[in-house]
Amino acid sequence: MAWAAAAAIAVVLLLYRLNRRAAFAVLAAALVVGGVLWLVTEREERQRSALKEAITARAAADASACPDPGRPMMVKFHNGNDRPVARMSFGLTARLKGHSTISYRAFLRSDRVIEPGGTAVLCYGILPHGFVPPRPAVIDLSAYEWSVQISLVGFGD
């Protein structure tokens, strides 16, 4: 995009030296095309953002939902869209209760299909290297406030 803008500026400057009237016409056309492209891109970005924001997620250390001790973290997703979710990438973070710094971070993926209006409960293991050094010797998952940030979403047909 930067190369296209630089080329357009070079053409307009060259035309300005040769024929000012033609340069102004080309400049006006370039501004119209650029404005239309910007509006279309903004609209698409807002639509993508709205689709992603319709998916909610929460995380907790829940032994009843995730009985496997190797996968103690429960992440619950709800699809509020009218299209099924085919895959997702998300970040799982934790802060010690009463603290503001992030103590744990993991980037995870899911390919579980979540139908429109549906909910999925998934269990994940704790990555030992996800903790900020110095890593705790004993990990008490209930001592942390867990959160999920969805980064990428792929929809099915």
User: Which sequence spans correspond to the domains of the chain?
Assistant: 2-51, 54-155
Identify the pLDDT of residue 24: 80
- Residue that has been written with the tokens 């891109």 in this structure: 41
* pLDDT for the residue numbered 12: 76
For the entire predicted model, the pTM comes to: 0.72
3-state helix vs strand vs coil in the chain, percent to 5: 35, 35, 30
Was domain 54-155 assigned CATH 2.60.40? yes
Q: Which residues of the chain have pLDDT under 70?
A: 1
pLDDT of residue 46: 84
Q: Beta-strand (E) ranges in 35-135? A: 55-61, 73-79, 85-96, 102-110, 119-124
Q: pLDDT (tens digit, 9 = 90+) per residue, 16-46?
A: 788 888 778 888 888 888 889 889 988 888 8
Nearest to 85 by CA among 113, 57, 108, 110: 113
What is the model's pLDDT at position 1? Answer: 64
**pLDDT at position 67:** 92
